[in-house]
Amino acid sequence: MKEIGGYFELERYHGQDYYPDLFHLNLGRCAISHFLSQVGCRELFIPAYLCDSVTQAVRDSSILMRSFRIRLDFLPDPRDLPRGPLPEGSWILVVNYYGQLSDRQVETLKKTYGNVLFDYTHAFFQRPLKNCDTVYSVRKFFGVPDGAYLHTLRPISPPAETDRSHDRMTHILGRFEVDAGSFYQIMLDQAHAYPGSPAKRMSPLTRNLLRSFDYGDIAKRRLANYRRLDSHLWSINHLKEILRVPDIGPFCYPLYLPGAGNRIRSAMAQKKIFVPTYWKNVLEDQPKDSLEYQYAADILALPCDQRYGEEDMDFVAETVEELI
């Protein structure tokens, strides 16, 4: 029975989320495993440069995994992959690292291998191509407790159960009113609780919050901040020969400083500039002389999101320059 009266809950928003017509799921890793199980995947070629939460989700689905390396430009190394379109039941997961994949490259990979699932965790604003199966995660772009999208033209069914996330908001609300440090452990505890989560529909709370954002303004701010950092740091960025400015709403500014990334990352934290490591498991699993290890250790994912402006970007860039 519907409740009437009493105290107010969170306001209900009536805007439109960025991908209203896609499948709405709870987590990116769950969207990947759910899709693969629905299409009958038995073998998955998966990059060595990847978060272990994804590999664990695939492993839990009893899918055979085969690892492949990436090239300097973040594209899959074709030497580790079969030639020509993959047979039925065999898929490749291609990650759009830092939004560096262009639509043309996506089309080429799709044409070459056929069964490709594209991971756009780092490229929320980059629209999916019509015939390309694509997964998005929203927590790296917005202050929400869960959320993922899946684009596919294949006849798959959504999960039966709907997620609930009201008890995962503490660190998000806490940072809004206090600071990140006071709620950092809660955030970690929450993240550690995600592994093993089954695929579910996106929570009503997250769906509601995603209807409240000005996506056009957010994308514009991110791009302006990215370009501001690039104007300062391009000359010292060892990715400069291959780096592509994302067309819309970048995830972060990837600054590659071979041999110095970990040191500078730690020093920046002392100045309240928090730069994550993507991904720590790679530092444990891959040889130190591998490209995957070097990228994980020494690419600084500098924040350029909608919370900041020119002065903030100048401070970040100047701090990097001083530490070098």
| 20-57 core/surface letters (b: 16 or more CB in 10 A; e: else) | eebbbbbbbbbbbbbbbebbebeebbbbbbbbbbbbeb
- pTM over 0.85? The answer is yes
Per-residue pLDDT of the chain (324 residues; tens, 9 = 90+): 888 999 888 899 999 999 999 999 999 999 999 999 999 999 999 999 999 889 988 888 889 999 999 999 999 999 999 988 999 999 999 999 999 999 999 999 999 999 999 999 999 999 999 999 999 999 999 999 999 999 999 999 999 999 998 888 888 888 888 888 887 888 777 766 666 678 999 999 999 999 999 999 999 999 999 999 999 999 999 999 999 999 999 999 999 999 999 999 999 999 999 999 988 899 999 999 999 999 999 999 999 999 999 999 999 999 999 999
Asked whether residue 9 is domain-assigned, the answer is no
Same domain, 156 and 53: yes
Boundary of a domain, candidates 209, 238, 263: 209
**Closest residue by Cα to residue 48 from 102, 95, 98:** 95
Mark whether 288 and 142 lie in a shared domain: no
The whole-number pLDDT of residue 173 equals: 82
What CATH number does residue 119 fall under?
3.40.640
CA angle 194, 198, 203 (to 5 degrees): 75
What single letter denotes the amino acid at residue 43?
Answer: E
Residue 18 placed within a domain: no
- Looking at residue 282, what is its pLDDT? 95
Report the pLDDT value the prediction gives residue 260, as an integer from 0 to 100.
95
Q: Which residue range(s) make up the domain with 179?
A: 23-209
Q: Are residues 140 and 282 in the same domain?
A: no
**Cα–Cα distance measured from residue 204 to residue 211, given in angstroms and rounded to the nearest whole number:** 11
DSSP run (H or E) holding 209? helix 204-209
CA torsion, points 175, 178, 180, 181, in degrees to nearest 10?
-150
Query: For residue 303, what is the domain's CATH number?
Result: 3.90.1150.10
Q: Does 239 lie in the same domain as 197?
A: no
Assess whether 63 and 178 both reside in one domain.
yes
Query: In total, how many domains does the chain have?
Result: 2
Residue 204 sits in the same domain as residue 247? no
Same domain for 205 and 158?
Answer: yes
The domain boundary residue, chosen from 187, 209, 231: 209
- Range list of β-strands (E), 96-215: 116-119, 133-137, 148-151
pLDDT value at residue 193: 63
- Same-domain check for residues 144 and 45: yes
177, 209, 241 — which closes off a domain?
A: 209
Confidence at residue 194, expressed as pLDDT on a 0 to 100 scale? 63
Retrieve residue 251's tokens: 């995830």
CB atoms within 10 A of CB 119: 25
How many Å apart are CA 40 and CA 29, to the nearest integer?
Answer: 17
